[in-house]
Amino acid sequence: MSSSGVCNAYAQTGNCRYGSRCKYAHVEGVDLKDSNNGTKRSQTSTQTPLDKFFAKYPEFDYDSSASASMEFYRMCKKFCWGREDDERQSAHDDFKDALVQQFNHIYGTDANDLASWRTLCQIVHVSPIPDTLKSCPTKLGLSTAPGLLIPQRG
C-alpha cells in the first residue's frame, strides 16, 4: 500500500486483495510520484496524517476504513467531550489540520498539476475526466487561486 492514500496495488494492477475493505482509494493509472518535487513517494511510512492524528489518542480504537469525520465524532463521544469543551476544541483544530494534510498528501499542493486534478476527478467520479487544467476545477464545482481551492457559489 502507499502512504499517499492511494492503493498502490490497485493503481498498478487494477486489483486489490482487500477489495471494498481497503482503506486506500482505488484509482487506476495514478502516478505515485510526489507532485511537488517529482520524486517517488516513500513507501516506508504507512501512517497517513489522519492515522497520526488518531494515534495521539491511543485509548480510542480508530477505524481507518470508516469516515474520518464519523470517527472523530465517535471519539468525542468516547471521551465525553461536549461541543464547548476545550479539549474537544483543540482536538477538532488538530483534526481539521490533519484533513488538510491528508488531502495535500494525496493530491499535492500545486494547483497547476493536471495529474493531481485528474486523480481527484476520477475519485469523485467526474466523467468524462477533463483533459485541460482549466476545465478540471470547473467540473468539480471549484474555482482556483494560486495554491488555493475555493468552492463556487451556485
> What are 98-140's pLDDT values in tens digits?
998 888 888 888 888 888 888 888 888 888 998 998 888 888 8
Phi first, then psi, for residue 28 (nearest 5°) are: -85, 145
End-to-end CA gap in the chain: 38
pLDDT at 30: 55
Phi first, then psi, for residue 70 (nearest 5°) are: -65, -35
For 9, the grid coordinates are 496495488
Q: What tens digit of pLDDT does each residue of 43-101 get? A: 434 688 998 999 999 999 998 888 999 999 999 999 999 999 999 999 999 999 999 88
Distance CA 20, CA 54 (A): 22
Q: What tens digit of pLDDT does each residue of 30-46 get? A: 555 544 444 444 443 46
Helices 86-107, 68-78: inter-axial angle, 10-degree rounding: 160
**Strand partners for 143:** 150
Angle at 84 between CA 83 and CA 89, to 5 degrees: 80
8 sits in which H/E element: helix 8-13
Strand 148-151 versus strand 142-145 pairing type: antiparallel
